[in-house]
């Protein structure tokens, strides 16, 4: 039992700890890989739209710069532009001219809007590819309930549109459907309490927590965790250990446990994605992660306790079995010493105590015989 507690248990605990952290690490790396591939696809989609000659033709058509009237047939082909948008699966696509006026869009209400004050326009009109962070939308877009909402999490990617001479004539802007990232985060399962999520450089969650409904009931968030919830230890302004380490740009883990945004002790692995300014966090409750080893520990302690109680009980009865005749021998010895030579030890076992009892009785008999002899 001592070997189990001092040798087997620590070795088993260390093995399970390493396996759990490895699983968290694999999950975080897998999510990072999926996000990177998704972002690369988004960038490729925007580049493909910006480089599509029909987009250039359509833009020139609506700005009155078409050199060949034969190409005007593309301007009325709204179905193609709608297909170009829907084929990629993004929320919105809009094309602005050099002045920042939206000329073509997947949503008619965007046409005519001036975007010249936007960062994505300024970057791409100078020839620079632009990729925003996940931010609250400044225009109404459809949320998860199907209603229009300002402030819904969104991401914009833009690229310059160039003519055949390389002159920048406009900007392509695509609003990404970031709910796809949520789907990726939720596709990897880590037991009953494990989850992966993304945070930004300020420690705000960018995806939905698997405990979002619980957080809503507790009024920790109003609509969603994305962009609403800063990942801090409850009752404090301190970022959780996983987040505070991650936003430093590091990769690491905590196998001892730390408080998460629910106030629950979790095991965690984190990885920073410098290209996007995001961090991927993989966590699981300590109680679930170490549940098996805790059960083993409790079992060992229970057995150890029962064995200890058994040893104490046995020792008590053995001690009583030994001490009772010893006390009896001592009492007889006192009587003999006080002159009562008739006192005898009653003990019938052939052991060391029996030998002692026989010696005391023999001594008492000798003293009794001497006492009977006349002077």
46 falls within a domain: no
- 103 in the same domain as 130: yes
42 falls within a domain: no
Domain count, the chain: 3
Q: Distance of alpha carbon 89 from its chain centroid, rounded? A: 30
Is 159:85 a contact under the CB 8 Å cutoff?
A: no
DSSP of 152-191: -EEEEEEEEEE-TTS-EEEEEEEEE-THHHHHHHHHS-BT
- 215 in the same domain as 263: yes
pLDDT at 330: 74
40 falls within a domain: no
- 173 in the same domain as 62: yes
Angle (nearest 5°) at CA 319 between 318 and 320 = 90
- 362 in the same domain as 302: yes
298 contacts: CB under 8 Å, gap ≥ 6: none
What phi and psi values does residue 362 have, to the nearest 5 degrees?
-60, -45
CA-based nearest residue to 75, from 87, 63, 62, 64 = 62
Q: Which two tokens stand for residue 205?
A: 């969650």
89 falls within a domain: yes
Distance separating alpha carbons of residues 312 and 306, to the nearest angstrom = 10
Domain at 25, CATH number = 3.30.450
Among 251, 286, 321, identify where a domain stops: 286
DSSP of 212-275: HHHHHHTTS-SS-STTT-B-B-TTSSPBPHHHHHHTTT--EEEEEEEE-TTS-EEEEEEEEETT
79 falls within a domain: yes
pLDDT at 321: 67
- 324 in the same domain as 342: yes
47 falls within a domain: no
| Segments of the chain scoring below 50 in pLDDT | 1, 3-4, 68-72, 74-77
Domain at 57, CATH number = 3.30.450.20
Rg of the chain on CA atoms, in Å? 41
pLDDT at 203: 96
Among 228, 263, 286, identify where a domain stops: 286
- 167 in the same domain as 194: no
pLDDT at 289: 83
pLDDT at 75: 45
- 91 in the same domain as 171: yes
Residue with tokens 């920790």: 220
- 272 in the same domain as 315: no
- 367 in the same domain as 247: no
27 falls within a domain: yes
Distance separating alpha carbons of residues 104 and 207, to the nearest angstrom = 31
Distance separating alpha carbons of residues 37 and 48, to the nearest angstrom = 16
Residue with tokens 């620079």: 128
pLDDT at 316: 73
Among 162, 180, 198, identify where a domain stops: 180
What phi and psi values does residue 75 have, to the nearest 5 degrees?
-70, -30
- 56 in the same domain as 176: yes
- The boundaries of the domain holding residue 329 are 293-372
pTM exceeds 0.85 for this model: no
CA-based nearest residue to 276, from 28, 29, 27, 38 = 38
202 falls within a domain: yes
- 172 in the same domain as 280: no
pLDDT at 72: 46
- 258 in the same domain as 165: no
Is 58:163 a contact under the CB 8 Å cutoff?
A: no
């Amino acid at each position: 039992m001592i070997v189990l507690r001092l040798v087997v248990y620590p070795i088993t605990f260390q093995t399970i700890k390493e396996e759990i952290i490895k699983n968290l690490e694999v999950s975080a790396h897998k999510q990072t890989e999926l996000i990177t591939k998704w972002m690369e696809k988004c960038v490729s989609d925007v580049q493909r739209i910006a480089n599509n000659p029909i987009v250039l033709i359509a833009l020139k058509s609506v700005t009155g710069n078409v050199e060949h009237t034969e190409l005007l047939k593309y301007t009325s082909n709204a179905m193609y532009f709608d297909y170009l948008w829907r084929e990629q699966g993004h929320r919105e696509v809009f094309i602005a001219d050099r002045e920042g006026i939206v000329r073509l869009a997947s949503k008619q209400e965007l046409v005519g809007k001036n975007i010249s004050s936007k960062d994505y326009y300024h970057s791409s009109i100078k020839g620079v590819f632009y990729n925003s962070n996940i931010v609250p939308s400044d225009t109404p877009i459809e949320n998860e309930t199907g209603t229009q909402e300002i402030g819904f999490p969104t991401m914009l990617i833009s690229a310059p549109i160039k003519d055949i001479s390389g002159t920048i004539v406009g900007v392509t802007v695509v609003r990404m459907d970031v709910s796809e990232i949520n789907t990726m985060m939720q596709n990897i399962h880590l037991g009953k309490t494990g989850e992966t999520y993304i945070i930004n450089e300020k420690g705000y969650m960018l995806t939905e927590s698997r405990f979002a409904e619980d957080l809503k009931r507790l009024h920790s968030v109003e609509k969603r965790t994305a962009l609403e919830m800063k990942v801090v230890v409850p009752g404090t302004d301190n970022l959780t250990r996983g987040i505070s380490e991650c936003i430093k740009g590091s990769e690491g883990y905590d196998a001892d446990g730390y408080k998460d945004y629910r106030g629950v002790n979790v095991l965690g692995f984190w990885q920073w994605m410098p290209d996007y300014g995001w961090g991927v966090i993989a966590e699981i409750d300590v109680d679930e992660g170490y549940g098996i080893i805790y059960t083993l520990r409790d079992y060992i302690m229970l057995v150890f306790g029962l064995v200890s109680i058994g040893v104490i009980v046995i020792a008590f009865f053995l001690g009583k079995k030994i001490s009772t005749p010893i006390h009896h021998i001592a009492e007889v010895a006192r009587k003999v010493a006080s002159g009562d030579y008739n006192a005898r030890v009653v003990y019938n076992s052939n052991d060391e105590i029996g030998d002692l009892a026989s010696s005391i009785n023999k001594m008492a008999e000798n003293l009794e015989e001497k006492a009977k002899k006349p002077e």
